[in-house]
Structure 1
Amino acid sequence: MNGATRTDGGRRCRAAVLGSPIDHSLSPVLHRAAYEELGLDNWSYDRFDIDEAALPEFVGKLGPEWAGLSLTMPLKRSVIPLLDRISDTAASVEAVNTVVFTEDGRRVGDNTDIPGIVAALRETGIEQVDSAAILGAGATASSALAALARVCTGEVVAYVRSAARAAEMRQWGERLDIEVRTADWADAGRALSAPLVIATTPAGTTDALASSVPERPATLFDVLYDPWPTDLAARWSAYGGAVVSGLDLLVHQAVLQVEQMTGLTPAPIGTMRTAGEKSLAAR
């Protein structure tokens, strides 16, 4: 392992995940498993139900014992004005899911979702595809599009429910320098024949698409992890297609968060994944 812990003087180092709602979050399970494996006995990782209105006061009161924050919806954009700087990766989609507090007191934002998606795909053997489809057009879809800008050499088709969402996805495509075509959600069944399909929608949204899975599907990346498998993922697996789950994404982005917050590399990805799987199985 390289790097140094942020435990100078024996002080307790704290981190947490913020969002609303937050009770479902697996982040505490993953980060605490990493701390235990790394021997960081004086580190803690908690969860706080914080909405956009409460975020400035919460962040403003954090003391020097804090090492970092994980952020989920609806805070990934509203946290940006509270930070001293953000990474190019976070700026590319105007979304921060990671805040690291430096030793000199600066608040630095990053987005580990984007490299987390790329890492999860590579773990499945996908280094490059010539086209892809995205189901949905929310904040996660923009991160998925940014990840595809790194691995997709051709067109991405985004299936959306409104003209406004379609316009947003095309704008993201221009910003990220990737070719994006939009299509109506009513035609989403056509997406399933793409070499790579990334489903970014809430639970239950893609259930009706399960009956449209082709006989030889390629790869599905479904960002959900609870409930799991989704109807779409279950049918996809039954037909022999490769499936990447939301847990795979959560683990890979959490690995990067642990490394940034603690200064220790590599984070114990196997331990973190096992902890997440056990926690989900117990639900």
Structure 2
Amino acid sequence: MARFGLIGKNIDYSFSRGYFKEKFQNLGLDHTYENVDLPSEANLEHFFANMPGFKGLNVTIPYKSAVIPFLDELDPVAESIGAVNTIKITADNRRIGFNTDHHGFVKALEPFLPLEDRSALILGTGGAAAAIVHALANLDFRIQFVSREASETALSYEQVNRYVILDHLLIVNCTPLGTFPKVEAHPDIPYDFLNNNHLLFDLVYNPEETTFMRLGAERGARVTNGYKMLVGQAEKAWEIWNS
């Protein structure tokens, strides 16, 4: 039997626990997977000092960067992204950090490629966006960030106009806007300028169809949520834990 888990905050909703429990049952494995719900970063030190017998861990918000000081080694991709969502614990108790979010995103995006133009509008500049940008840069996409405030590297939402929308055919929501229970929330972009050349990719997966997706579909855009990305990153984590 092996022990696995997810580190995060307020994670009763977790995709990972249900997914891996079902996976273990289907494979006939007597493994366990549990939520490690930590109320603050201050609890990380105590957890890693006393963690009992885990073989592998997933990490979700808000600790994807905060766990890094507690690791013995970082995979180069995780180091480049600056965030970890998978930790492998070796037989000699070394903790190695990986990022499989970018892998999951690429797997989920592949069925929609090619687009008419490799241009992406990234809504949000947090940790989730970092993995998406890493993946898109490797696919030679032009990337434009959008944030609440304009900066040297990002447009503000007020600056996103018809020309910005038409110049970016992939629009990725990397914010939590629209997540259950606040399902009516959505990024404030001018949806009226979308057309059937656009793809709206929402990292949110609960609800299955977000308001962001619905508003895009109403204008003819293709839309998808974050579920297949989660499956892809989870399967990559499983591969890493067993390598």
Tell me the TM-score range normalised by the shorter chain: 0.7 to 0.9
Match of 2:46 in 1: 57
Determine if the alignment matches structure 1 residue 186 to structure 2 residue 186: no
1:159 positional shift = 1.1
Which whole-Å CA distance do the structure 2 matches of 1:58 and 1:127 have between them?
A: 44
Asked if 1:199 is matched to 2:176, the reply is no
Change (3 A) 1:189 1:29: farther
Residue 201 of structure 2 corresponds to 221
Letter of the 2:176 partner, please give it. P
1:245 is displaced (CA, Å) by 1.0
After superposition, the CA RMSD in angstroms is: 2.1
| 159, 172, 179: which one aligns with 2:146 | 159
- Aligned equivalent of 1:103: 91
Give 1:118 shift. 1.1
AA aligned opposite 2:50? K
Structure 1: where are the runs of 5+ without partners? 1-11, 171-181, 264-283
Unpaired segments ≥5 residues, structure 2: 179-184
Contact residue 192 and residue 217 of structure 1 kept, 8 A: no
In structure 2, relative to structure 1, the CA distance for the partners of 1:216 and 1:150 (3 Å cut) is same
Tell me, in whole angstroms, the C-alpha distance in 1 between the residues paired with 2:61 and 2:87: 14
C-alpha distance after superposition, 1:74-106 (max 9, x if no partner): 111111111110101100121001101011211
Partners in 2 of 1:110 and 1:34 — Cα distance?
21
What SS does the aligned partner of 1:197 have? strand
Distance 2:187 2:46 in 1: 40
1:100–1:222 CA distance, 2 compared to 1 (3 A): same
**Contact 2:123–2:187 (8 Å) recurs in 1:** no
**TM-score computed with the length of structure 2 as normaliser:** 0.87
Moved more, 220-229 or 81-90: 220-229
Partner residue, 1:20: 9
Q: 2:17·2:34 contact (CA, 8 Å) conserved in 1?
A: yes
Per-residue Cα deviation, 1:230-276 (whole angstroms, up to 9, x for no partner): 1120132344322221111111111111222244xxxxxxxxxxxxx
Please tell me whether residue 74 in structure 1 is matched to residue 46 in structure 2: no
After superposition, the C-alpha distances for 1:45-71 in whole angstroms (9 at most, x for unaligned) are 0112113110111122123x3111111
* 1:255 alignment counterpart: 235
Greater RCO, 1 or 2 (C-alpha within 8 Å, sep 6+): 1
**What TM-score does the superposition give when structure 1 sets the normalisation length?**
0.76
Identity, % of aligned positions = 32
Candidates 119, 122, 128, aligned match of 1:134: 122
Match of 1:112 in 2: 100
Larger helix share, 1 or 2: 1
User: Partners in 2 of 1:185 and 1:89 — Cα distance?
Assistant: 30
Q: 2:22 aligns with which of 14, 25, 33?
A: 33
